[in-house]
Structure 1
């Protein structure tokens, strides 16, 4: 494999718009490159400069040297991590969800920053509630939601600049565009907040936004609800352009690429729509889809995981299965794509790394 790394996937869904798409080399039919047992993984990995950063339910954060296939460093924070890390300059920003394992105990939760080069702690901010939401950068600042019903805006030293309170827990990860923040809450509203913490607008949907994160185009927002709602809204005035309803919750975050929007749902299906809301195809698995799909802008195959324990590669245009890989546990971690590689975490405790398929020498 190539040892030149010019691309990156530095946050949940790959970018601040949470589109799940990246300009990287196509995989089409991935070949297993490496597996390593780290502990159960719900959080989604991030990648930069040949190093992959992975957080686990055991409270450990790992930095993996991908070309050497070794652990460079690891840090034990002591509380489960389900939020996906953020790479911001030389920092790795993470947050904990202590009651994931320790019932209702949230005394040990924190938002913290590690030095991405050696894993040493830079700062740590204690919180009063669990955090599922993944951090998003706004310049050098950080925004993320919390189970205490508030959206937090922090500076790069971890100091709280402001917080915006909603009427419900915030599982949804915020997205950003032009210094405007978008996020959903369990109170059933999707919010648009300015970078100074003032409300721009909020709109009621058909139920709580439990973990689906807003996916942004230039002027549209796509998001799912716990009551099975699939929505397209105007980002300027929050008018609903179209909406669909499926039978089970939409907890996965949508994928936006090539004028198509793709949702994974708890009815075990992946749905593809055009931007006008016309359904193009659907694909069914044997388990709920909580993992959010990802795709290279140069590839015809998108990737996602399912609670049926398989990683899938689906034709972006037709919805037909192109590739399937078995694991030993449920997958709700979302795939990370970069430099022609695919990285997926799993509850079986294994991190799966794939590279582009190469014909064996005896075939060539």
Structure 2
């Protein structure tokens, strides 16, 4: 029997030959007029990797960085308006409501700041924020060493319950919290059996949120009582691999979400019963999905795929293969989906046909791709430079080499034909979109 680590490497670190044979690769579609990447309008450099997604309100872009700062940047010029220093990495995306910016940090606090000047209105201490991890993670050596999961990128981002005046989020302490948005006092909390790094969805008075205990919870937004919970596939051998990182999305009476068990689910929003599930072929579904017309769009990790399925039946419509893991939600504008991959590229896909329209790379990828990628594709063993993958330090070093590509984990936001996205190279980019 193969050692567990080798099985995991096969499942997650490499694109299997089977997957390569089943994925279709549509060629770019020739059109007279398409939405394409034109040029970088501006870029703003932080001092840490950016995994969070930009929030834009009143002409300001708010973004957190692993340098422990939350930045407010002028949307037009890319100039700094103010920054707030926390005491831990900011891997939670900001949410703006009533001139207040809400976000969480690895220092264990969730913050509320004045959106105009960055002054703290309040902060709330959770039971602590941490990466998922274990001693001897995935049987790596040394087995006595506690190892952070290198693919656990996010903290839960706040969602606003405007009816009750609450800000809601999950925590690594296993709780879902609802706080007064104005005062920061706790309205209620609900406990799960695992850390929560997923962002909640508020839909028709119910909060839907995933936990690392394998369950998606439906929680009454008024009082925090559990309406129902749905358990995804649990495989005890791979326990530390499992969990739900993606925020659900809703459409009428259905809730859609993916999980690390390599399935994408559609549930009845009222009862939590399964309507359909899609087998992602052993590949994690970490990013949130997007809905448009009659389709739901989601992406995968090790099969590098952007997939469209019928939202009523789960039947696959098409898929596009990128060059590396996809951990971000697509942004859809003018019938085009935009997303990034771990090799530092942005893609533009025609959502009706599944045709790839354009690809765009930042300078960090252009500079380092030849040294880090194998035939322009992510290959973890190649990035590890042939070192022993049984050792955790090898994985850390390989990830650091991949980050030199400017990996795109942040989701994109599009406003007025400009795409805003963060990168592991520490930059927030504003990319102009135009017609050709």
What is the TM-score with the length of structure 1 in the denominator? 0.85
Q: Of 317, 341, 348, which aligns to 1:280?
A: 317
Tell me the alpha carbon deviations over residues 212-253 of structure 1, each in whole angstroms, 9 at most, x when there is no partner.
Answer: 111111100111111101111110111111111122111111
Report the alpha carbon displacement of residue 27 of structure 1 after superposing the two structures with TM. Answer: 8.2
Matched residues in 2 for 1:311 and 1:269: separation? 13
Residue 170 (structure 1) aligns with: 196
Structure whose residues are more often helix by fraction: 2
Q: Distance in 2 between matches of 1:273 and 1:34?
A: 35
Q: Which residue in 2 is equivalent to 1:28?
A: 35
1:65 aligned onto 2:91: no
Which structure is larger by alpha-carbon Rg, 1 or 2? 2
Cα shift at 1:317? 1.3
Partners in 2 of 1:170 and 1:346 — Cα distance?
24
Query: Structure 1 pair 33/205, CA: closer, same or farther in 2 (3 Å)?
Result: same
Q: Aligned match of 1:191 in 210, 217, 223?
A: 217
Deviation at 1:185, TM superposition (A): 1.0
Q: Deviations over 1:105-146 (max 9, x none)?
A: xxx320111111011111111222117111100012111001
Aligned match for 1:264, one of 291, 299, 321? 299
How big is the shift at 1:209? 3.3
The alignment covers a number of residue pairs equal to 322
Q: Cα offset for 1:159?
A: 1.1
Equivalent residue in structure 1 for 2:233, among 200, 206, 209: 206
Superposed, 1:11-50 pairs within 5 Å as 28-31=35-38, 32-39=40-47, 40-50=49-59
Change (3 A) 1:210 1:190: closer
1:190·1:209 contact (CA, 8 Å) conserved in 2? Answer: no
CA contact (8 A) 1:37 1:350 kept: yes
CA deviations over 1:61-84 (Å, ceiling 9, x no partner)? 111112233111111112101110
Q: Does the Cα contact within 8 Å between 2:126 and 2:173 map onto a contact in 1? A: no
* Structure with more of its chain in strand, by fraction: 1
CA 1:324 to 1:350, structure 2 compared with 1: closer, same or farther past 3 Å?
A: same
Q: Which runs of 5+ in 1 are unaligned?
A: 1-25, 98-107, 360-364
Structure 1 residues 47-74: Cα deviation after superposition (integer angstroms, max 9, x where no partner): 0122111110111111111223311111
Query: What's the RMSD between the two structures over aligned residues?
Result: 1.6
> Is 1:136 equivalent to 2:159 in the alignment?
yes
Q: Residues of 1 paired with 2:178 and 2:78: CA distance?
A: 36
Structure 2: unaligned runs, 5 residues or longer: 1-32, 131-154, 235-241, 365-405
- Secondary structure class of the residue paired with 1:303: strand
Shift of residue 339, structure 1, vs aligned partner: 2.7
Q: Which residue among 317, 331, 346 is the counterpart of 1:311?
A: 346
